[in-house]
Structure 1
């Protein structure tokens, strides 16, 4: 593999950007850290160096998120990892610049409407250029896609129900804003029902059961997830639902916040609703959390599969979801540079690189169990 600088992280000064940078540094991959403010990038790099305890082959580049400024920068690289959100609000120029510069696009979104929008707007264009367009290259919602692909190895399975259960969850400010803008819109978080999108109510929680745990959990659609989008055009799947259990206290609090939001948002335009969810997200922020650790940051991602003649279940035990997000971005970028991309266009990481291959890597790295 060439040691040219062929990877760029955009929005690299944030929480997730630093985690991605650490993972690239551990792999010895040279990269760019880019964003709008050089001083913030410099501060972020200081954090990465302290955590990494070794050399970091990186170049910092300040650039605003407009196509004219980004395209010359993106033409230097093969892979852009976008971690700047809320994505539906700010990420359009980044995707367009990737297409024009002919580089692969990865992001860490949790926003279902963003995923659907770029599939419709850019999926075919990226496929025509043999480029990967892979949003949600992150714990949410790549872990569920990996789990679902294991379940779909069983012939006849056509319906999927997924549960994300997370211990000691502490979402970052950016994640909170992204999630709230989805949860705050009554018709923007969907599940798949008989091959069609159906909307979840935005102010209701649900009880879910997680294997190996003694009590049920309350859960939310958490924006609808991206698995229904991945499988909307997959002939194997007719139905797909995803719920997330962040802990009953968090779920109960968010449900109350959304109920209050519904009252405050009556009569507002879409832009005013977006501004309000940003305001609420900022009020909920508790500062940038420390990277999660295996002792506390544990998760179970469960996929229940049903079909006309049977059913099956796969449980993915996973540690440190945020660190896993950095790792899957780094793994994806490295595989692209190594010529290991299996399928271009709009794809989940599980399909783009092979779910068995990725699960084996993450098991070896200590993040997850290995499927039977």
Structure 2
């Protein structure tokens, strides 16, 4: 690995001009970092680099030699350019070649699985590979490990999220990529298909009770690695009518996105109209997470987490993860809770955790 000789933290932020990339860049500067801003377009990078007083480099993900060259002298990459199912692997390979740590903000199940497939090589190369250092999946991963540690031998884990936010264009594109695969749960240690809309239930969050529906959140992979619990279901809060309607509307959505012309039109609409939450929502929005671990002998632990709005949280959590990786000596592929422990989420400004054990 080629560490920077500058005492100010310097690392590469790829996808810096995207909605979340800008937030990460701003948070990094606020915390005294000097990330090098990177992406495909020099023209798009220039205004942000000028505003924040940062260096920039334009390079495409199809240019492996250029990526490795861009990493020279930099110890770490934060990869913020999705959909990650298409963009993650080239950057992982560049990091392995350059001897640089790799972090991303994905929530995509295939990406988590692929990151862990590189564990042995990452150990040999002396680097950390860590997907999901934002709202996907830091709050849920840390809360999952927290309740699991309270219930030795837990065999079931339920996680639910109520995220008061608005999706960015990047998040919407990633979600669209996952639509054809449908729903999943983990049973007996394996991912199993699960009909979307099946298993709707009510969950008491720290502020109020909500209707939740099973969705394929990244913790179906990460919580399995963090806790070893073999049966995991992840839920998202939805209006009751929406949750009930998913069983009937989701198959139609799957058929629609399978049509190339429809996908192209959706992409144009997303680019034109999806902007993500505004600054007011960043400041006032609160996200809720609930987790419950259960053991065959009746042991049970339940906990809640309150956190900032999802994108504001992602910016803060990403920079904190960068700091932890650069300060540590870990090598290999990890989830955030594996690497930093269940209490890592509490080091992020605006987070509160509550417990109930029985």
TM-score past 0.5 threshold = yes
The Cα of 1:88 is off from its aligned counterpart by: 1.1
Measured in 2, the distance between the counterparts of 1:8 and 1:132 equals: 15
The Cα of 1:162 is off from its aligned counterpart by: 0.1
1:315 and 2:304 equivalent? yes
Which moved further from structure 2: 211-220 or 139-148? 211-220
Measured in 2, the distance between the counterparts of 1:141 and 1:100 equals: 26
Contact 2:99 2:127 in 1 (8 A): yes
1:27-42 alignment runs, 5 A limit: 27-42=31-46
1:1-372 alignment runs, 5 A limit: 2-3=6-7, 6-45=10-49, 49=51, 56-66=52-62, 67-120=64-117, 122-154=118-150, 155-167=152-164, 169-186=165-182, 189-202=183-196, 206-221=200-215, 224-233=216-225, 236-245=228-237, 247=239, 258-264=250-256, 272=260, 276-277=262-263, 279-280=265-266, 282-284=268-270, 285-291=273-279, 293=281, 296-309=284-297, 310-338=299-327, 340-341=328-329, 343-356=330-343, 358-362=344-348, 365=349, 367-370=350-353
Pair 349,43 (structure 1): closer, same or farther in 2 beyond 3 Å: same
Cα deviation code 1:27-73 (max 9, x no counterpart): 11111000011121123346xx4xxxxxx452111111121210111
Cα deviation code 1:97-124 (max 9, x no counterpart): 011001000001111112112322x222
The Cα of 1:318 is off from its aligned counterpart by: 0.9
Cα deviation code 1:256-292 (max 9, x no counterpart): 76433333356x6xxx5xx855643543543343246
Measured in 1, the distance between the counterparts of 2:85 and 2:305 equals: 29
Measured in 1, the distance between the counterparts of 2:167 and 2:247 equals: 16
Aligned partner of residue 164 in structure 1, secondary structure: strand
TM-score w.r.t. structure 1 length?
Answer: 0.84
Contact 1:166 1:247 in 2 (8 A): no
Measured in 1, the distance between the counterparts of 2:122 and 2:112 equals: 14
Aligned partner of residue 55 in structure 2, secondary structure: strand
Measured in 2, the distance between the counterparts of 1:182 and 1:41 equals: 29
Measured in 2, the distance between the counterparts of 1:98 and 1:193 equals: 33
Aligned partner of residue 156 in structure 1, secondary structure: coil
Contact 1:293 1:319 in 2 (8 A): no
Measured in 1, the distance between the counterparts of 2:43 and 2:241 equals: 37
Give ranges in structure 2 of 5+ residues lacking alignment. none
Match of 1:52 in 2: none
Measured in 1, the distance between the counterparts of 2:269 and 2:248 equals: 15
Aligned partner of residue 76 in structure 1, secondary structure: coil
Pair 5,319 (structure 1): closer, same or farther in 2 beyond 3 Å: closer
Contact 1:203 1:259 in 2 (8 A): no
Measured in 2, the distance between the counterparts of 1:129 and 1:58 equals: 29
Pair 129,40 (structure 1): closer, same or farther in 2 beyond 3 Å: same
Aligned partner of residue 133 in structure 2, secondary structure: coil
- The alignment covers a number of residue pairs equal to 346
TM-score w.r.t. structure 2 length?
Answer: 0.87
Contact 1:33 1:58 in 2 (8 A): yes
CA RMSD of aligned residues (A): 2.7
Contact 1:359 1:370 in 2 (8 A): no
Pair 43,83 (structure 1): closer, same or farther in 2 beyond 3 Å: same
Aligned partner of residue 152 in structure 1, secondary structure: helix
The Cα of 1:213 is off from its aligned counterpart by: 4.5
The Cα of 1:82 is off from its aligned counterpart by: 0.4
Measured in 1, the distance between the counterparts of 2:103 and 2:244 equals: 32
Contact 1:25 1:57 in 2 (8 A): no
Measured in 2, the distance between the counterparts of 1:29 and 1:254 equals: 43
